Structure 1
């Protein structure tokens, strides 16, 4: 595979540029750029801690350069701040990620229209971090602004900007759905799928990951209108693509595969196919357990939600004792999350507590349905 080889080459180049920069301060810009590139490559290879270290150093060097000569180096500082925000978010540190990307947005707002694409990317990242902290109204406004910017860019240069436009549409659709604006969300998610399908047909290696994510999102939008069989078919295709990608590069694609498996389990459950839903959901939980064991801050929230869903699957099959064990684990994880971020995770805890109570009633001989 090319990417690991490129990362190793970049690592060597960073070392060479570091030495050159010590000997000749005029080489600092090249050194800083190589650090940022290395951070991006390491992140794609599923090495978040190493990526964060490179990103932090890139910001420090770019900040010094921009302080001395703002005109040529402020745009590069903005890029480095965006990279840093993504790495912090990947490691479950959203407050720090938010601070970094807010600074990036301020940088690009002060620059000319020549940096509109950088501003759009920063707004997308800002929405992601605000959403992670429960700031959904602000995130929706950021997503809307990013979509408009990318649409303008794609109209003038479709080959370059249609991929970014499609992913911004996905983000916007998800945000609209969170506000129960389902009709708008479905239309927008469908457009993202259409664009990604065309891109993946022309360059599958580059755009199949984006297509898989778009398919998963569109399946969720269809499910909101109870179009469950259509949603299942589309979710299956998203999982199929991500299985292939994760088989080749597990560190990079297992997180998305776990999410897609969870969504497919929900689609199967909505069709009453609880046995299949249980198998698929359990696979997603297994992946998330491994991810959360290595990086709890980043993956415990998804693990807690998936455990709650898995308990629902077991409960639907009448396996109440097993379901209670699973939901009690979910409650334990959610309690830890609520202690750190109550506004973000309280509703998840409350949902699992209701399920826990219902399951105990079933085991004790109660017959009320779960609502």
Structure 2
């Protein structure tokens, strides 16, 4: 009798514990749903909380309730992965794994196997992921061409890391072509975000390969897409993306010795960053983006023989990088100090220029330069 009572109490305790876990998981989903579009990483946090709820419902032998949660988690992660597979392929694979378990418990073996196959493919080598999604895209282009484009973009990133940049060009070219078609057919802004990323990547890559004239139209198109996105929704993340894309175009134009054309774009990038920093003044990290834009604008003015205009901009960049050195490290501060030294030298202030060079060398642990 005592053992029966212990078993009953054990079952009651387990039920109470499960009920508490379920309430907590539901609250987590509700909380993250409210943040999904408001904070950086909000969609991923919502997907993770949905996956956790789905797994808990599966453990409680309630797979039919868990399935729509897992499906929503997969949809969210798929959207993220179709924009940036390199960053989100493990997230998508985990959600697909949970979906596969729930589908199997609901006696849907074909769908469960498809989810497992995709999760397994995402854990493979980049070229294997491309082959997997190419096969799916041939069978269902409307559904899987965005994933194929994402896998091609990710292959470009991997090849760059392996110092094989020239081999990455055709992968990005195909990714751009697919994403351009998808963006024209689908009004979802995320399709244009993905297109802008690949255009930016291709333009930068061609510039790095000393082919700036080929890269220019891609960066110009990337800026146009980003402008359109900001006009539709001036969220600070979209303004940051436009500012960074403008900076890439500025750098390419400078590489082509077209500084005068680059100047208004560099000013626009600074203005965009100032707006973000003012709006997000509680987070100092955004000052790093402003500092980079200020230094780029200052260097551009110096190249145009306007060092007096460049000086306050580069000084501001140095101050921002100095304040962020404990977060960013000293490398960016050292670069800004070297830019400051060049501007001071152009203004015939040799002692101050040498002091800036000396500090830059000290920050980098190198021997100070002398003019």
Q: Pick the TM interval, shorter chain.
A: 0.5 to 0.7
Partner SS for 2:275: helix
1:276 to 257, 261, 282: 261
1:218 to 189, 196, 202: 202
TM-score scaled to structure 1, two decimals? Answer: 0.65
Number of corresponding residues: 310
Report whether the alignment pairs 1:181 with 2:168: no
Q: Judging changes above 3 Å, is the alpha-carbon distance between structure 1 residues 65 and 319 closer, same or farther for their aligned structure 2 residues?
A: farther
Q: Judging changes above 3 Å, is the alpha-carbon distance between structure 1 residues 160 and 64 closer, same or farther for their aligned structure 2 residues?
A: same
Do the aligned partners of 1:285 and 1:303 also contact (CA within 8 Å) in 2? yes
Aligned residue for 2:311?
324
1:305 to 268, 276, 292: 292
Aligned residue for 1:130?
none
Q: Judging changes above 3 Å, is the alpha-carbon distance between structure 1 residues 201 and 74 closer, same or farther for their aligned structure 2 residues?
A: closer
Q: Judging changes above 3 Å, is the alpha-carbon distance between structure 1 residues 69 and 75 closer, same or farther for their aligned structure 2 residues?
A: farther
Task: Give unmatched runs, 5+ long, in structure 2.
Answer: 1-18, 81-86, 101-111, 355-368
Do the aligned partners of 1:182 and 1:221 also contact (CA within 8 Å) in 2? yes
Q: Judging changes above 3 Å, is the alpha-carbon distance between structure 1 residues 146 and 313 closer, same or farther for their aligned structure 2 residues?
A: farther
2:223 to 236, 239, 245: 239
Segment of structure 1 superposing worse, 240-249 or 276-285: 240-249
Task: Give unmatched runs, 5+ long, in structure 1.
Answer: 1-23, 88-97, 124-140
1:216-264 CA-partner distances (Å, limit 9, x unpaired): 2211122122222232222222212221221121116323222221111
Do the aligned partners of 1:36 and 1:55 also contact (CA within 8 Å) in 2? no
Partner SS for 2:210: coil
2:272 to 264, 287, 292: 287
Aligned residue for 2:114?
114
Q: CA RMSD in A?
A: 4.6
Q: How does 1:126-137 map to 2 (within 5 A)?
A: none
1:257 to 230, 235, 242: 242
Partner SS for 2:336: helix
Aligned residue for 2:211?
227
Aligned residue for 1:339?
326
Q: CA deviation at 1:178?
A: 4.9
Using the alignment, how far apart are the partners of 1:157 and 1:231 within structure 2? 32
Do the aligned partners of 2:206 and 2:214 also contact (CA within 8 Å) in 1? yes
TM-score scaled to structure 2, two decimals? Answer: 0.65
Report whether the alignment pairs 1:349 with 2:333: yes
Using the alignment, how far apart are the partners of 1:203 and 1:212 within structure 2? 15
Q: Judging changes above 3 Å, is the alpha-carbon distance between structure 1 residues 102 and 177 closer, same or farther for their aligned structure 2 residues?
A: closer
